[in-house]
Amino acid sequence: MTTPRPPHDALALAPEVRDALADGHPVVALESTIISHGMPYPENVGMARTVEGLVREGGAVPATIAVIAGRPTVGLGDAELELLASDGSVPKVSVRDLGRVVSTGSHGATTVASTMRIAGLAGIGLFVTGGLGGVHQGAESSMDVSADLTELSRTPVAVVSAGVKSILDIGRTLEVLETLGVPVVGFGTDDFPSFFSRSSGVPVPMRLDTPEEVAALARATWDLGLQSGVAVANPVPAEAEMPRADIDGVIAQALADADRLGVRGKDITPYLLGRIVELSDGRSLRTNVALVEHNARVGTQIAVALAATR
Ligand code: PSU
Ligand code: MN
């Protein structure tokens, strides 16, 4: 069985997170790029606070992760959440950027990839987010594939998302995850969810229906010494989903706008997310908040089940 590792020395852990990890209590990691670059202010900070509350209600300790003054920080205070949400100068930090913000003593908002890595260094096995990065449309020439996928192949953390939105190439994203050896779970669904909608038309590689089954899969994967994460795709609740016909038109327009403006690299995902909120008159933001809250509820149940497998 797995014995808990002590957290890496370079991390700053909130006392409550440190205690929970030492005692084997469930902890849920949360990312900060979704706060700084994924939603507008003040909905972003409202979402961050609500999600932390839902994790507590479910019986786990929330650990929002960011780099604060050069320290990878696990468990933020309210003033830090507010800063990340409202200060537009905090950069998006993926794994390649971690050394830079640490060596310069700066703040950074961590993506799925860098949040996974820091969660792994802390000894946290479960991480809740909204949407995963993946293979961008046109990646066969741009080679734009999110570092989130690389990280899923090498860090043993389970990530609960609402799937992959169709700003990305969903089929190719699942192909790359297969190549990288990452288990991908449809939680209570046979159809891989597409973030704003419950379906994508692409079948899930594996379906599981309970938090206990997901926890058992993750534990078995790690007990074998496999260093991969587990991607858990949890569909948006039916009452909050957007019809695919509506959101597809918005996404097509956002992609065309990005192309016309020449937006690329690390800026493309934040640009598209912001443009989708504008083009949908805020409708997509309500769906986004609802799906993150739902992921927090389900992810907390998985964290509780995972703590019971030790
Ligand atoms: N998708 C969302 N909201 C987000 C992101 C993706 O619906 O906030 C963020 C996450 O932090 C994710 C990152 O890890 O974008 C991926 O960026 P890129 O495509 O540059 O790898
Ligand atoms: Mn990219």
CATH code of the domain containing 208: 3.40.1790.10
Ligand that lies nearest to the alpha carbon of residue 152, given by its number in the listed order? 1
Ligand that lies nearest to the alpha carbon of residue 270, given by its number in the listed order? 1
Domain count, the chain: 1
Is 16 tagged catalytic? Answer: no
Burial 123-143 (b: 16+ CB within 10 A, else e): bbbbbbbbbbbbbbbebeeee
The finding on whether 163 has its CB within 6 A of some atom of ligand 1 is: no
To test the ligand 1 pocket, which listed residue (30, 33, 36, 151) has its Cβ within 8 A of the most ligand atoms?
A: 33
100 part of a folded domain: yes
The finding on whether 296 has its CB within 6 A of some atom of ligand 1 is: no
In whole angstroms, give the CA distance from residue 251 to residue 273. Answer: 9
Question: Is residue 237 exposed (0-12), middle (13-18) or buried (19+ Cβ within 10 Å)?
Answer: middle
The finding on whether 31 has its CB within 6 A of some atom of ligand 1 is: yes
Give the structural domain span for 145. 12-308
To test the ligand 1 pocket, which listed residue (32, 84, 112) has its Cβ within 8 A of the most ligand atoms?
A: 112
DSSP assignment of the chain: -PPPPPPPTT-EE-HHHHHHHHHT--EEEE-SHHHHTSS-TTHHHHHHHHHHHHHHHTT-EEEEEEEETTEEEES--HHHHHHHHH-TTSPEE-GGGHHHHHHTT--BEE-HHHHHHHHHHHT--EEE-S----BBTTHHHH--B-HHHHHHTTS--EEEE-B--TTB-HHHHHHHHHHTT--EEEET-SB--BSSSS--SSBPSEEE-SHHHHHHHHHHHHHTT----EEEE-PPPGGGPPPHHHHHHHHHHHHHHHHHHT--GGGHHHHHHHHHHHHTTTHHHHHHHHHHHHHHHHHHHHHHHHHTT-
Closest by Cα among 132, 162, 136, 174 to 268: 136
Residue identifier of the C-alpha nearest atom 18 of ligand 1: 146
Q: Which of 52, 80, 82, 165 is catalytic?
A: 165
42 part of a folded domain: yes
pLDDT at res. 3: 60
Q: Which residue has the tokens 């169709």?
A: 166
Answer whether 214's CB lies under 8 Å from 184's CB.
no
pLDDT at res. 156: 98
Ligand that lies nearest to the alpha carbon of residue 113, given by its number in the listed order? 1
The finding on whether 302 has its CB within 6 A of some atom of ligand 1 is: no
pLDDT at res. 166: 86
* Own/partner pairs, 105-108, CB within 8 angstroms, 24+ separation: 105/69, 105/70, 106/67, 106/69, 106/70, 107/66, 107/67, 107/68, 107/69, 107/83, 108/66, 108/67
Answer whether 271's CB lies under 8 Å from 258's CB.
yes
In whole angstroms, give the CA distance from residue 287 to residue 195. Answer: 9
1 part of a folded domain: no
56 part of a folded domain: yes
Answer whether 157's CB lies under 8 Å from 229's CB.
yes
Is 178 tagged catalytic? Answer: no
The finding on whether 108 has its CB within 6 A of some atom of ligand 1 is: no
In whole angstroms, give the CA distance from residue 147 to residue 152. Answer: 9
The finding on whether 146 has its CB within 6 A of some atom of ligand 1 is: yes
254 part of a folded domain: yes
171 part of a folded domain: yes
6 part of a folded domain: no
3 part of a folded domain: no
Q: Note down pLDDT in tens along the chain; length 310 residues.
A: 556 788 999 999 999 999 999 999 999 999 999 999 999 999 999 999 999 999 999 999 999 999 999 999 999 999 999 999 999 999 999 999 999 999 999 999 999 999 999 999 999 999 999 999 999 999 999 999 999 999 999 999 999 999 999 899 999 999 999 999 999 999 999 999 999 999 999 999 999 999 999 999 999 999 999 999 999 999 999 999 999 989 999 999 999 999 999 999 999 999 999 999 999 999 999 999 999 999 999 999 999 999 999 8
In whole angstroms, give the CA distance from residue 149 to residue 16. Answer: 30
Answer whether 30's CB lies under 8 Å from 73's CB.
no
Report which ligand 1 atom has the smallest distance to the Cα of 34.
8
- Ion ligand 2: residues, CB within 5 A, are 144
